[in-house]
Structure 1
Amino acid sequence: MKTTSRRSVPLLALALLAIAFVALVSLSSVALRGARVDLTEQGLYTLSEGTLGILAKVEDPVTLKLYYSEHATRDLQAFRGYATRVRELLEEIAARSDGKVSVQVIDPEPFSEAEDQAAALGLRSLRVPGTGDQLYFGLVASNSTDGESLMPFIQPDKEAFLEYDVAKLISSLGGAGRPVVGLVSGLPMGPRMDPSGAQDPGWVLDRQIRDLFELRRFQGMPASIASDVDLLMVVHPKDVPEQTLVAIDQFVMRGGRLLVFVDPDAEADQSALNPLDTLAVSPPQASSLGPLFQAWGIHFDPARVVLDERHALQVQPDPNGPPVRHLAVLGLGSESLNQDDVVTAGLGVLNFSTAGALGLSRESTLRMEPLVQSSLRAALADAAAVRDAVGDPELLREDFRPGNEALVLAARFTGELKSAFPGRGEGHLDASDGPVNLLVVADTDLLTDRLWVQVQAFLGQPVYDAFANNGDFVFNVVDNLVGNADLISVRTRQPSARPFTRVEDIRRGAEARYRSTEQRLQQQIDELEQQLGALQQTGADGQAQAVTPAQQAEILRFQEERLRMRKELRDVQHRLNADIESLGDRLKLLNILGMPALVVLVALLVSWRRWARRRAAEA
């Protein structure tokens, strides 16, 4: 009886441990609900403060429906990984919403009701190459009052904008109508009659803005800005009267968003031309919001133009001459754009022409975040000198001295502000009602069609062929600034895919070490071949000339030297990837032996501790 009782003790202990484990898991699922730890280097699963602010303001519960064709991606492992990333982000949003957001994942299988729903909602499908399956990967957000908002297809190459797009989708459910963009422009951006009497539809950017937003044009310089304007867009402000400056100042103090395009040399400004003098050429004019900029601590010199040797584009001032690089006409790539801000992240090229530079005074209460910068091979030049060099851009190189400092061409300014016109009486705000959000671009020419798009007619309809991302940049800025403050603060994210940066560093180092040797050897081989060719020249009659024994020995020596150098060149080319192959071998060895070695080490450590305890007990 005692033996049976003793045998049942371990079984009873195991049963009690199992019950305790289940109870502990159940308790932790309740007590620790919502507790998460993000251990990823890039904080992939940590929502930004802006997204959390949007979730806190959700009043009507939101349902997020992710339509994802699981079977269609069975052979697309990279896409399946991205789909998991999207699903996890949505689940994190739901977990941090206090029950205000729920997530549903729907698989629209072929010929199913879910597929019909996806098509009816306007989601876009792609045909998978090789299988012909239809792939749906879209998101629909809905509540009980505002209908539905959707992302027709979640593109993997836009992963940096994923959190921003989802937050915008949720935020848009509480909106009412299209945002209002107020436009004060000193340039002919909108529809007008051209000199021949035909209707000109205006610049492409102007058309896109009025298609997507409610564009309200101010005639002349306004004395007040209505409270329903979500964004005030000021383009090329010249000779701005004080009443308009006060109106802009108070709009900003009330929390309105301001987008300003100023220019030291606006080439599209022909306002000073005499309409009766068709041969007159008026020099472009400068623009600024001087009194406001000075009071707010924003530096902008309307008489200075940015020159950049590295990003200079080719122009052809003389139709009969060769193209030359113009130091004031710039093509700025992704390395010059702020990849942490949603308005510039992911853009390819922005084209500027005779742009100015922005800065911030030490006394300013604002914080400047550069969005577009020049290279270090940049300097400032007088706008008058740039205009004088229109016919010969090479003149700009004569006094060009790079300052080894990047110049800011566009920037976002945020923070608390004091009014530039304090003490104006009742109803006048002397300080901003919360942090302001301003965006200033020191160029207006980037808005013109000639710098980013070609317009052609096809079957009576305009077709836009963009060769730069100027339009995307301006649309991103407007779309971002008309959103609420929480949405503006949502940042872009680094992609979840981890590139082999160590391999790339080794590759660049190897190329730096061996490229010079390779070039030296190739140059020596070229020189030897020229010498061989000189020794083996033919005569005037086309017959080979007789060579002396000394020349024959020299030819043989040259040929042997050429063979030796070619062999050395091949060795250099092979060594180019030796470091990368060595790293791969080390990684394989670590993967194969590292974990087993770690397990053995832990086992030995546990065994040693048990042996030490047993020996201590026996002593």
Structure 2
Amino acid sequence: MTPNQEPTATSPPPTAKNRDLLRFAALVGALLLLNFVAQRFFFRLDLTEEKRYTMSPATKKLLGQLKEPVSVTVYLTGDFPPAFRRLEQAVRENLTEMQIYGGANFSYVFLDPSAAGTEAGRNQFYQTLLKKGLRPTNLGSNENGKRVEKLVFPWAVVQGPGGQTRNVLLLRGNQAVSPEQRLNQSIEGLEYELVSAVRQVSPASGGRPRLGIIDGHGELPNIELADILTAWSQSYDVFRVDLSKVPDLRGNLSAVVIAKPTRPYSEEDKFKLDQFITHGGRALFFVDALRTDLDSVSRNGAALATPYNLNLDDLFFRYGVRLNPNLLLDLNSGQIPLVTGMEGNKPKIEPLPWQLYPLINRFNPTSPITRNLDAVIMRFVGNIDTVKALGVRKTSLLTTSRYTRVLPAPVPINFNDARLEPNPKNYQNPFQPVGYLLEGQFRSLFSNRARPGTTQYQPDQDPTAKPGKLLVISDGDFLRNDVDTRANPPRPLRLGYDRLASTEFANRELILNATDYLLDDTGLIAVRGKQITLRPLDKVQLAERRSFWQALNLGAPLALLALFGLGRAWWRKRRYARF
């Protein structure tokens, strides 16, 4: 540079401090941009193997179409053991997901029934819940070495427009499995139970399905169907239909129910039923193969079960099943009350096992109709065989236990047999099917025949007919509720309620699941097939290495934090040493 030349100005090199400030500003800007994008583009990632936090498309669609507000009040909250806290957390997670898709029209709240400050206040709130039909569960736990009993209300109440409410039992599952497995089954069914109740309280678009209860053949009266009729009416329009008074079932009904007929079907009535089914109709058959007169048993001490003549055997055979004329005895059974002696001048009545009342606890584990279902009770049931039927898929839903006996008709029945100790060696016919689901294109029984009473020729098969669905259960009493005749007027009891055992079997739930499966075109019933794998810890290893894992959980975070601090101090010293 010459003496007369002016020095040129150069920008100083950026310092490390300036570089850190620029990086911090860029990070803040990126976070703001990401937050802006996230507010306008909604997405969620579920990295679990079973996609346990992912709502089904049917659930998302239903919640997205809510036109009026729906609220959920959950009473399952409070100071619980870890297992019940897991169920509570699962309920909260499901409702949070549902709120995302339901938007402003979906809300929920958790209330602790035991939160009242005084015992009188708690009891008053408990009575309010009991009046709503919310039955508590007695939960035992150990606190400070003492056994403590707590009342838990595992319920949610879904309220929709117009004050319509539906009670949702959150603790379900099969009572025959371990408590951990039952809780897991309850968690698997939460989405379906909640969204099903939301659907019931929401105004239906396009009208509700119409369910016809076939009449005119000695079917069960309304008082013995009262509980299931009430349950059906929450989701469907229910009618009694006399086949002799209607020209055709097609176009008027979505499904029909045949509830324990005792008189034969005429050919004309059978033709109407056949045409409904083969043109895409849905039907639920609860039919006995043998006639059992309990009144004659109670009067004379014995009776004879003989085959019915319902004129339906050829119809079932055409569709792919055969109801065999026999009765099943199962060592896994319900009870009947019998006089076993005298107490002073009064008879002594005790409940005794009655093998003709099988308790069914073996279900198809993959079908949404029976998945995670509790035991059901049956009365005087026979087994079902399948026969060849092209285009029809047959799914066995219910089977008896390993210790089953088959008695072909005629079968003598005597209540005094309950006093005898059964011999397990006689029960060598295990796993007898008593319920089937049939799906597919059913061929008409009247193909290439004239319609009964006319010369009108029926074609072989309608090419435009839709596939149909049938449920066939070989027990006409399966959907019959008991009636308290001592009440005035007589009062129907809940379906599946056993007064002797003071327990409620899952007959009602199975029928409702089956009806939903047959009539639900949205795919919502498939949510019941959701499966969450239970991954329990090894309790033996956990007990043996308890101290090691406690020390690891306590010391590992502190050690990692110390290593991070030392590493960061070394890095800063090396980086800024030259300054």
TM over 0.5: yes
1:337-369 alpha-carbon deviations (Å, 9 max, x no partner): 456656556654433233122344465433333
8 Å Cα contact 1:312/1:326 also seen in 2: yes
Change (3 A) 1:395 1:128: closer
Distance 1:108 1:325 in 2: 42
Distance 2:151 2:427 in 1: 59
Matches within 5 A, 1:80-91: 82-91=87-96
| Corresponding residue of 2:576 | none
Distance 2:96 2:505 in 1: 33
- Post-superposition offset of 1:232: 0.8
Does residue 227 of structure 1 match 2:246?
Answer: no
Give the secondary structure class of the aligned counterpart of 1:332.
strand
Does residue 311 of structure 1 match 2:353?
Answer: no
Distance 1:418 1:476 in 2: 27
Distance 1:36 1:282 in 2: 63
8 Å Cα contact 1:140/1:149 also seen in 2: yes
- Post-superposition offset of 1:4: 6.4
| Corresponding residue of 1:45 | 53
- 1:34 partner letter: F
Q: Which runs of 5+ in 2 are unaligned?
A: 1-10, 117-127, 139-148, 173-185, 342-348, 449-455, 499-503, 572-579
Does residue 214 of structure 1 match 2:242?
Answer: no
Does residue 16 of structure 1 match 2:26?
Answer: yes
Give me the TM-score of the superposition, normalised by structure 2: 0.65
| Corresponding residue of 2:270 | 245
- Post-superposition offset of 1:190: 1.6
Distance 2:87 2:12 in 1: 61
- 1:354 partner letter: F
1:419-474 alpha-carbon deviations (Å, 9 max, x no partner): 4444687999626744432211111244555xxx4625356563738315265257
Distance 1:336 1:131 in 2: 32
Moved more, 341-350 or 233-242: 341-350
- Post-superposition offset of 1:376: 2.3
- Post-superposition offset of 1:255: 3.4
1:103 to 98, 102, 106: 106
2:314 to 291, 302, 312: 291
1:502-543 alpha-carbon deviations (Å, 9 max, x no partner): 44xxxxxxxxxxxxxxxxxxxxxxxxxxxxxxxxxxxxxxxx
Matches within 5 A, 1:75-224: 75-76=79-80, 82-93=87-98, 95=100, 102-105=105-108, 138-142=157-161, 147=162, 149-152=164-167, 155-157=170-172, 159-172=187-200, 173-175=202-204, 176=207, 179-184=210-215, 186-187=217-218, 189-190=220-221, 214-218=238-242, 224=248
Does residue 356 of structure 1 match 2:367?
Answer: no
1:372 to 391, 398, 404: 398
Change (3 A) 1:584 1:474: closer
Q: RMSD over aligned Cα, in angstroms?
A: 5.4
Distance 1:372 1:136 in 2: 28
Distance 1:301 1:133 in 2: 44
Give the secondary structure class of the aligned counterpart of 1:489.
helix
1:261 to 286, 308, 311: 286
Give the secondary structure class of the aligned counterpart of 2:221.
coil
8 Å Cα contact 1:50/1:489 also seen in 2: no
Give the secondary structure class of the aligned counterpart of 1:252.
helix
- Post-superposition offset of 1:234: 1.2
- 1:168 partner letter: S
8 Å Cα contact 1:261/1:443 also seen in 2: yes
| Corresponding residue of 1:575 | none
Give me the TM-score of the superposition, normalised by structure 1: 0.61
8 Å Cα contact 1:49/1:486 also seen in 2: no
Distance 1:131 1:322 in 2: 31
Distance 2:466 2:61 in 1: 16
Change (3 A) 1:290 1:250: same
Matches within 5 A, 1:469-618: 469=505, 472-473=508-509, 476=512, 480=516, 483-486=519-522, 489-492=525-528, 500=536, 502-503=538-539, 580=540, 582-586=541-545, 589-590=548-549, 592-593=551-552
1:172-211 alpha-carbon deviations (Å, 9 max, x no partner): 43434684332246445226xxxxxxxxx55665775797
- Post-superposition offset of 1:30: 4.3
Percent of matched pairs sharing the same residue:
16
8 Å Cα contact 1:234/1:259 also seen in 2: yes
- 2:312 partner letter: L
2:471 to 433, 436, 439: 439
- Aligned pair count? 487
Distance 2:288 2:550 in 1: 58
1:142-161 alpha-carbon deviations (Å, 9 max, x no partner): 4xxxx564335664456554
Give the secondary structure class of the aligned counterpart of 1:167.
helix
Does residue 381 of structure 1 match 2:407?
Answer: yes
Greater CA radius of gyration, 1 or 2? 1
Distance 1:48 1:54 in 2: 10
| Corresponding residue of 1:570 | none
Does residue 402 of structure 1 match 2:402?
Answer: no
Change (3 A) 1:470 1:80: closer
Does residue 64 of structure 1 match 2:70?
Answer: yes
- Bigger proportion of residues as helix: 1
Give the secondary structure class of the aligned counterpart of 2:289.
strand
1:330 to 342, 351, 357: 357
Change (3 A) 1:250 1:302: same
Change (3 A) 1:586 1:24: same
Distance 1:242 1:395 in 2: 46
1:25-48 alpha-carbon deviations (Å, 9 max, x no partner): 5445545x2242240x54322334
- Post-superposition offset of 1:17: 3.0
| Corresponding residue of 2:177 | none
- Post-superposition offset of 1:374: 0.7
Change (3 A) 1:181 1:188: closer
Distance 1:402 1:412 in 2: 26
- 1:51 partner letter: T
Give the secondary structure class of the aligned counterpart of 1:263.
coil
| Corresponding residue of 2:344 | none
8 Å Cα contact 1:269/1:284 also seen in 2: no
Distance 1:413 1:502 in 2: 42
- Post-superposition offset of 1:258: 0.4
8 Å Cα contact 1:184/1:221 also seen in 2: no
- 1:303 partner letter: P
Change (3 A) 1:588 1:4: same
Distance 2:305 2:359 in 1: 25
Does residue 462 of structure 1 match 2:494?
Answer: no
8 Å Cα contact 1:124/1:136 also seen in 2: no
1:85-126 alpha-carbon deviations (Å, 9 max, x no partner): 3343244345567x7x84334578999xxxxxxx9xx98899
- Post-superposition offset of 1:251: 1.7
8 Å Cα contact 1:338/1:345 also seen in 2: yes
